Amino acid sequence: MVSKDGFIQILDPCPEEIPEQKSLSTELPSLKGKTIGLLENRKFHADNFLKELQTVLENDYGADKVIYATKFTFSRPCAEETIESLIEDCDAIVHGVAD
């Protein structure tokens, strides 16, 4: 971005020395006993990532149930029926994108 004084701001893409800390959501402070939706977009390795995430959610975070859904294709919006079903049945939804 060019500023009014003619200088360009350059962003450093290197990882931070100290990762940014995020607090838990006040809306969903814990996943214990919750139903989590995993929406796969059909990109390469998205299924592998979400299957591993399912294990972590259940074993490490105490999620009671994980509902797995798949988009028809990554290049198109998800079917409304799929989104509505996930919203109705889940406390939180993760949309997995991978390559």
pLDDT in tens, 39-62: 998 888 888 889 999 999 999 999
- Residue in the block written with tokens 């929406």: 39
Those residues whose C-beta lies under 8 Å from the C-beta of residue 1, and which sit 6 or more positions away, are 8, 9
What distance in Å separates the CA atoms of residue 57 and residue 82, rounded to the nearest whole number?
21
Residue 8, pLDDT score: 75
Where does the pLDDT of residue 23 fall: very low under 50, low under 70, confident under 90, or very high at 90 and above? Answer: confident
Residue 47, pLDDT score: 86
> Mean pLDDT across the chain, nearest whole number?
85
What's this model's pTM, rounded to 2 decimal places?
A: 0.71
Strand arrangement of the beta sheet that strand 92-96 belongs to: 65-70, 35-40, 92-96
**Alpha-carbon distance values, 2 to 17, 68, 71 (Å):** 27, 45, 40
What's the maximum distance between 2 C-alpha atoms anywhere in the chain?
A: 56
Burial-class residue 95 by CB neighbours within 10 Å (0-12, 13-18, 19+).
middle
What distance in Å separates the CA atoms of residue 4 and residue 22, rounded to the nearest whole number?
34
Local structure of residue 8 (DSSP, 8 states): B
